[in-house]
Amino acid sequence: MKGRLPFVLALSFLLSLLAVWGAYITAEKSRGFVGPAVMASSGETLSYVSIHSPGWMVLNSSFNGAGELVVLDEFSGERVFSYNVSEHLNYPLVLPREGSYRIYAINGSLTFSGHYTGVYPTPRVQKVLYGSITVLALLLVLWRWRA
């Protein structure tokens, strides 16, 4: 009974890690669309499109109109992307980490539409998952070797 508790704990930890990987595998194959939406700024009013990403993703986007396009990370407040659009822009926007992003136009009006083909774990999440799986495997090897 004494030797089974570490095994049960290690197995529970392994199953929870597999569940996290399973969530990313299903999200990786997800596809989705954003828009079409009109973003305009006039005076003090500003319209924007909010996008939430559970990992990093590439948003294949299309913008029509004129104005300064800004992509802002809502949590850190930093600009991820900024570009002056005149007429048309097709661009793959890379949303570098999990979180919420705002896409808006300054001094003009833009029509936006986009699609994404998958969501991927960030490098930090990958390092934690790989490291914890490696430590767990070593613990299981040591447990088996002692038995």
Tokens of 72: 């802002």
Which tens digits make up the pLDDT trace of 101-121?
A: 988 888 878 888 888 887 777
The set of residues, in sequence order, having a beta carbon less than 8 Å from that of 14 and lying 6+ positions away, is 133, 136
Give the domain range for residue 31.
4-146
Task: Using alpha carbons, select from 77, 43, 47, 84 the residue that is nearest to residue 63.
Answer: 84
pTM (two decimals): 0.65
| Torsion over CA: 129, 132, 136, 142 (sign) | positive
- CATH number, position 92: 2.60.120
The total number of structural domains that make up the chain: 1
Which tens digits make up the pLDDT trace of 10-60?
A: 777 777 777 777 766 666 666 777 778 877 776 677 778 888 887 788 888
